[in-house]
Structure 1
Amino acid sequence: MTSAGYDDDFLGIRVPLPRPAGGREVRELPYPRFTVLLDPARTLAAVTGVNIDGAALRDVPRTGEWRLDSRLPVGEQAGPELYAANDLDRGHLVRRRDPGWGGAAEARQATEATFFYTNAAPQAAAFNQSKDLWLGLEDHVLQYADATAQRVSVFTAPILANDDPVYRGVAIPRRFFKVAAWTAAADDGMPRLEAAGFVLDQSELLDLRQGALAVPRLGAFRTFQVPIAEIAGLAALDLGPLTDADVLAAPAVRGEGGWRPLIGPGDVQLR
């Protein structure tokens, strides 16, 4: 497997892969066109970064099986036992199709690499409008990006909070974040970096009070557009230039805790 990993210079403006603040220990795992920084204490990703060339995406058949990464000890990865006989999905952090661009063979290899457990995080299995929106955010950003470039870098991970509920020895994240970055032409014609941040909250779908997972019938995902600076604080990450590139203007922020609730793509602010 060719494992070049996330490319800091993919957008033409340098965007380093975010790093944990405070020197938190992580394992850096490059895969084709994306990188996972895994938190070995939590056995889940602290951050993932993927480069997407929207103009060269291929419709690659779904192939690949979930597997552990042999570069890590088994005890540092949340593996199949976490997801057995319950209502937890192995949620892709880097989506299967995101690195699937370019030549046919390399696109297939890249999509199959998304099936490592290091790129998975436990998500409640219920599907609804909010989760559909979450899965489609990258497509929405790609459609917005400059038609001559259509390159986007996306950073996704669970927010690893200290008070996340524990199930089968793994603290289950209640929230996930996504930050998408692209370039746009400034008034002087030079490219400038733009970015947007989002949070998915599955708190209402997790009930571990009896020591086992239960999904309340009326639970729901909630999706928000969130200031990137706030995501950096919640996830304890250094998001570098992404914070200053945030397109979410302060006067437009509304809703719960200053977050902008999203019902559909039309609610996303990208300019």
Structure 2
Amino acid sequence: MNDADWLRLDAQLCFRLYAASRAVTRCYQPLLAGLGLTYPQYLVMLVLWEADDLTVKAIGERLSLDSGTLTPLLKRLEQAGLLRRERRAGNEREVRIVLSEAGRDLREQAKSVPPGLMAAMGLSLEEIGALRGLLDKLLAHAGRRKAELPRVGMNSDPRLIDSNRKRLAPGRSGFMPDGDFDRRRCRASSPTCNTTYPDGVGPRVGINSDLPGPAASAPYPPSLSARSPAPRPPPPSPRTRRAPASAPACGTSAPGRPAW
């Protein structure tokens, strides 16, 4: 297979996995409709049917779900009366999930789901076992390789992320999130960063660093945190209203003007 063939859709294993996952989920819909469960809720119930009285963290680790995704599922199952969320006296911060009586009884009704799914997929037990083994191998290997894969894209340069993995302020590659200049990052990306600047900031680093002329060497303005507050102007003095001159009486003249 040449390089061009690798970019054909039919050559992608990921697309087959994605399409197969959606197809299997659609096969579950009529089987779970009688139980009143969605597919994600069914997965939560499978975990609790294996081991009851688990923490939210333990369920999330088993299903590879974060708390933001798992919490709404648990709330809806609790509203359906299938489980309870409890806080123990020993550790009130920890929420434990316990099946209700209705949740335990639902397990008997769910025993018809696996045979129905096997018939819908058209696979034998041996084929399902072989496929499960290959997928387990893929998941285990991909999980180990995830941390080793290089970053690709705008943030692939490690100089754009500090040791605490805090992203830089938008549009200012040499600045920390709080606006302070990181001279170590600048020195790594620009050999001219050792120059001392009057404002103590440094040269421009980033997408505009290669511009010709003064704009390329012009330093950024000092960070807002380093600036001293500008003195406030004195309050304006209150304007003195002049009293209006009284009009001269009829038959008289104003001072300095003749009477007619």
TM over 0.5: no
Q: State TM-score, norm by structure 1.
A: 0.20
**Greater strand fraction, Structure 1 or Structure 2:** 1
Q: State TM-score, norm by structure 2.
A: 0.20
**Greater helix fraction, Structure 1 or Structure 2:** 2
* Structure of higher RCO (CA pairs closer than 8 Å, 6+ residues apart): 1
